[in-house]
Structure 1
Amino acid sequence: MGGYYSKSSKNSKGPEITEADRAVLSLKTQRKKLEDQEKLINARLERHGEVARQLAAEGRRDRALLALRKKKLSEKQLAGLHTLIMNVEEMLSNIETTKKQTVVFGALQQSNDALKQLQAQVKLEDVQRLLDDTAEAKAYQEELSQLLGQQLTDVEDAEVEAELAALEEVVVDEDKLAMPSAPKTKVPEVEAAAAARAAAQAAAKAEAAAAEAEEDATEPEPAAGGRKAEAMLAS
């Protein structure tokens, strides 16, 4: 069982450790040591200051001066430590910034490669042809919309009506030319019917004329009767 786990641990690979990672680890270790030294020096400064105050209170001036000199040296050491810590912090910041820039550069490089692959799939001729087709379709649509949105004036309506009448006349003429011509000789039944209608109309007219003449002959003359009455009154 132990061999199995050891074999698995050998086969499993973690993230690769780079020189930058090693440098960051070393700088952080040094920073930790410098911070520990800073704590010791701060404690030493407090102790020297307290000793100097006690000696001065006791009137032991020489020993108080010695304590103050030690305190001054500790302050110089602390200032040097601060400078070193600041340098370490600056170096760590530079490394972190460079690592981020490297990651960004890698991403930009991958994006550039992907962009080149995509551009290789699209030809400029195809794009230009597509743009031309789109422009033509847009122009056609605009022209069609403009035509549909226009309204005809009265004069244009009259011209359209006249054009339609001319077309209808042409169609009628073509239909007449296409139809077979009617026969010139009349059908005997049609002629007999027409003759019978004409004879009936003539007989009706003759009867009407005879009746009118008979009425005129039987009607008395009013003028002659009037003259005879006047002669009898005069005698």
Structure 2
Amino acid sequence: MGGLFSKKKSRVTDHDKAILQLKQQRDRIKQYQRKVELTLEKERQLARTLLQNGKKDRAKLLLRKKKFQEQLLVKTDGLLENLEKLVHDLEFASVEMQVLDGLKSGNEALKKVHEMLNVDEVERILEETREGVEKQREIDELLSGALTQEDEEDVEAELNEIIKESLPEVPKEPLESEGLPAVPAKVPGDKTARERRRQEKLALEAS
């Protein structure tokens, strides 16, 4: 159970250790400089006091010591500048390494993609995509009724062909101008003729 809640330890590289050590040395030099600056100010005040008390030789000796420490302070400025530059270069190198690692990972991933998809495969996929887009555009045009004149003619021709194949040929009706007899107004054997024959039959039976 304890392993599940333990914090993951960060991996510290030699590069990180070197940067840390340089920063620690830089901080120690800065502390030394502050200490020397305070000492110089105290010795200057002490030399003034010695002169006031007539102790010129001791004041001169103290000022020589002060001068030596000032020279050391100048040297520490140079060391501090070199350390700052080195820390900056190492940190920037760390950033460059991270960028290179990212580029390496990206190149490896891209290489795997190239291995999976060769040029022929890409062309096939693009061709299928173009065909799918064209087919969808044709469907959209049909659904929206956006047919060209040529499309309308093709539809009409196909309709006539289906009618010709499916329906029997219907004969044309004769016209009166062709000399055919007209239809009689009264058809033989209609209701009036039957009534007349019935009355004649009844008259013969009565006689």
TM-score (norm 1): 0.53
Sort the Cα spacing of 1:119 and 1:172 in 2 relative to 1 into closer, same or farther, 3 A: same
Range moving further from structure 2, 119-128 or 37-46: 37-46
Larger proportion of helix = 1
Sort the Cα spacing of 1:127 and 1:89 in 2 relative to 1 into closer, same or farther, 3 A: same
Any idea what the Cα deviations from partners look like across 1:107-162, whole Å, max 9, x if unmatched? 3212211220122011221221111111122122223322333379xxx8xxx6xx
What is the CA RMSD across the aligned residues, in angstroms? 4.2
Aligned to 1:129: 124
1:119 aligns to 2:108 (yes or no): no
Select 1:78's aligned residue among 50, 56, 73.
Answer: 73
Q: Which amino acid letter does the alignment assign opposite residue 69 of structure 2?
A: S
Question: In structure 2, what is the Cα distance between the partners aligned to 1:66 and 1:31?
Answer: 31
Which one scores higher on RCO, CA 8 angstroms, separation ≥ 6?
A: 2
Identical columns (%): 28
Flag the structure with larger Rg. 1
The total of aligned residue pairs comes to: 167
Question: In structure 2, what is the Cα distance between the partners aligned to 1:76 and 1:143?
Answer: 89
Question: In structure 1, what is the Cα distance between the partners aligned to 2:33 and 2:16?
Answer: 26
Question: In structure 1, what is the Cα distance between the partners aligned to 2:83 and 2:102?
Answer: 29
Aligned to 2:168: 172
* Paired residue secondary structure (1:172): coil
- Deviation of 1:202 after TM superposition, in Å, equals 7.0
Gaps of 5+ in 1: 1-13, 177-193, 209-235
The answer to whether the 8 A contact 1:56-1:64 is kept is yes
Aligned 1:218-233 pairs, distance under 5 A: none
Any idea what the Cα deviations from partners look like across 1:191-230, whole Å, max 9, x if unmatched? xxx99x479717728979xxxxxxxxxxxxxxxxxxxxxx
- Deviation of 1:88 after TM superposition, in Å, equals 1.2
* Paired residue secondary structure (1:173): coil
Sort the Cα spacing of 1:53 and 1:107 in 2 relative to 1 into closer, same or farther, 3 A: same
Question: In structure 2, what is the Cα distance between the partners aligned to 1:110 and 1:169?
Answer: 68
Aligned to 1:100: 95
Any idea what the Cα deviations from partners look like across 1:20-65, whole Å, max 9, x if unmatched? 4564465345435534532442232122111123134445555444
Question: In structure 1, what is the Cα distance between the partners aligned to 2:16 and 2:39?
Answer: 35
Question: In structure 1, what is the Cα distance between the partners aligned to 2:165 and 2:111?
Answer: 69
Question: In structure 2, what is the Cα distance between the partners aligned to 1:203 and 1:148?
Answer: 67
Gaps of 5+ in 2: 1-9, 172-186, 201-207
Question: In structure 2, what is the Cα distance between the partners aligned to 1:198 and 1:88?
Answer: 135
Range moving further from structure 2, 95-104 or 78-87: 95-104
TM-score (norm 2): 0.59
